[in-house]
Structure formats: C-alpha cells, structure tokens
Amino acid sequence: MTTKPIYQFYFRISVLLTLLAALGQSLLYFLSFDTALYLYERGPLPTILGVCIAAAVVFMLSYIFAVKKEAAPESLPAPGRNVTFTAALSGFFILATLILTLLYSLNGLETDALSSPLAVAANVFSIPAACYFFVTALNPSPNPKAHALLGCTLVIWLILYTLSSYFHMNFSINSPLKIYNQMALLAAMFYFLQEVRYPLERQRPAQHRAFGFIAMLLLAVSSLPTLLLTFAFRISITSDTIYYLAELAMAFYIFTVLSSCAKPASSAKEKNDPLTPDEF
C-alpha cells in the first residue's frame, strides 16, 4: 500500500468520524444536557461518546506511524478556491472576536470580557492572527519568513485564548463545553505549529496531517454542537459565540487543506474542490 492510498484512507475515515462525532455530540446536548448548569445529565451516553472520540483521536494519530516518512510530500499544494475562501472566513471571524468583545465590554454587557491581562493579550494578538489567514487567502506567494511569523502569532493567540477561556468562569471547570473547547484549541495549536514549518522548509508532513485530522475533529465537536444549542435558544448568545464561529471556520479551513493534499498534484493546483466526485 503506497503513501497516497494510506493518506486517502485516513482522510476519508477522519472526515466520517468528524461528522459522526459532531452529530453525536449535538444529539447529546439536546437530549442529555442541563443548560442551566452546562453539565451532562446522569447516564452512560456522555462516557460512551467520550471514549469513541478518544479512540478516533488515537486512530488519527496512528497516521504518523502508518506512513513512510521518506515518501511524504515536501510542500503543500498551492491554495485553491476552497482554501482561499475558508482562510478568509477564518480571518474574518477571528477579527470579529476582537470587535464583538470590545462592543460587549463598552456596552457593559460583559464587564469581565477584558478584565484579565490574558484576555487583553488574546485580543491584541487576534489582529496578526487574522492577518495570517488573510495573507494565506490573498497572497499565493507570501514572503516565507513573514508568513511564518504571522503563523506564530496565530499559535500565540490560540495559547492565550486557551488560558483566558480556562480561567474565565462562564462555565464550570468540568463543563463539557469548556473541556471540549480546551482540547480543540490545543489541537488547533499543534496543527498550526506544523503548518508554519512549511514556509521555513522544516516541514513534517506526517505530523501536519495527523494533527490536522485531530484538530478538524475536535474543533467541529467543540463548535458545531454549541452553536446549534445557541441558535436553538437553549443557551444565551454571548461574546463566546463568535469564538465558536471562528473555531468552526478553522475546522473547515483545515478540512480544505487536508482535502487538497488528498488530490493528485495537477488537480490540486488547478482547483481545490473537496466535493469533486472522482476524488471520492
């Protein structure tokens, strides 16, 4: 079995597992979740789903050991229209986190939104973090070192956002909303640490793809079910809502990048459509 079929197998299974996990988490929130306490109701289903998600993460991580390092590609495919769109969308929502946080604070809707140095720093770094995605979307050949530096600010933003949300007591420490959100942000951090290695020509393709699978899964599980709860008016709309939209946009961005890696080189350069029938 060559490297390319191995990757296509992992990619397709990872997408399927992501959809199933997000669907399962959504159903669990609607059927067995106390929206007053932001905790699961009693029962075995949360544990079963948690074990299944953990097993999916282990499977995705096994890609590192399943693929031959010497057969991995040395560069990412040129960004196509789908990568361009999801990158721009991610940048837009990350920048929107800053704007809405400021609006909520200035209008007194959330007085603690900028109450800690971590929260302030996270909002400051959201600007260059968003610029990383805008450059990815608008400039097909950016300066490698400058692009990598912007990517590092994205990683710093993810770290600061993780720490800020951990200490922000909007949910209890053992709430699944907080737990999955923390895991999703950490997975995204590991993924983008691998992505910024490409402009510096220090890429590790196997790790990049494996962490991409995991980040895609956990970002979707964290964001999509929570947004569905919010838009169904089961929980309140807050400044956190835009952060979940940013996470969902990043999940789609990672999906489109991984999808472009699953295509033949000539196809990936011409277009980046993950729904092309002959690719699936």
In a domain, residue 269? The reply is: no
What is the mean pLDDT of the segment spanning 119-128? 92
Measure the CA–CA gap between 219 and 254, rounded to whole angstroms. Answer: 10
In a domain, residue 276? The reply is: no
In a domain, residue 275? The reply is: no
pLDDT attached to residue 143? 87
pLDDT attached to residue 110? 64
In a domain, residue 129? The reply is: yes
Owning domain of residue 187: 3-262
In a domain, residue 99? The reply is: yes
What's the pLDDT band for 264 if we cut at 50, 70, 90? low
> Residue 193: CB partners within 8 Å, gap ≥ 6?
155, 211
* CA angle 162–165–168, rounded 5-degree value: 150
pLDDT attached to residue 272? 44
pLDDT attached to residue 275? 41
pLDDT attached to residue 270? 43
DSSP 234: S
Higher pLDDT, residue 106 or 182: 182
* Dihedral over alpha carbons 205, 56, 17, 227 (to 10 degrees): -100
Tell me how many domains the chain contains: 1
3-state secondary structure 3-20: HHHHHHHHHHHHHHHHHH
Measure the CA–CA gap between 45 and 57, rounded to whole angstroms. Answer: 18
In a domain, residue 187? The reply is: yes
Write out pLDDT tens, residues 213-240: 999 999 999 999 999 999 998 888 887 8
- Report the share of the chain in percent with pLDDT over 70: 87
> By mean pLDDT, which of 36-40, 253-257, 272-276 is the weakest?
272-276
In a domain, residue 270? The reply is: no
Q: Which of 198, 81, 113, 218 is nearest to 151 (CA)?
A: 198
* Dihedral over alpha carbons 209, 214, 220, 223 (to 10 degrees): -120
Cα 110 to Cα 27, 42, 115, 168: the distances in Å are 29, 31, 10, 12
What is the mean pLDDT of the segment spanning 171-177? 83
Residue whose structure tokens are 């057969």: 71
In a domain, residue 220? The reply is: yes
> Residue 73: CB partners within 8 Å, gap ≥ 6?
205, 261
What's the pLDDT band for 188 if we cut at 50, 70, 90? very high
pLDDT attached to residue 72? 54
Give the three-class secondary structure for 33. strand
- Report the share of the chain in percent with pLDDT over 90: 58
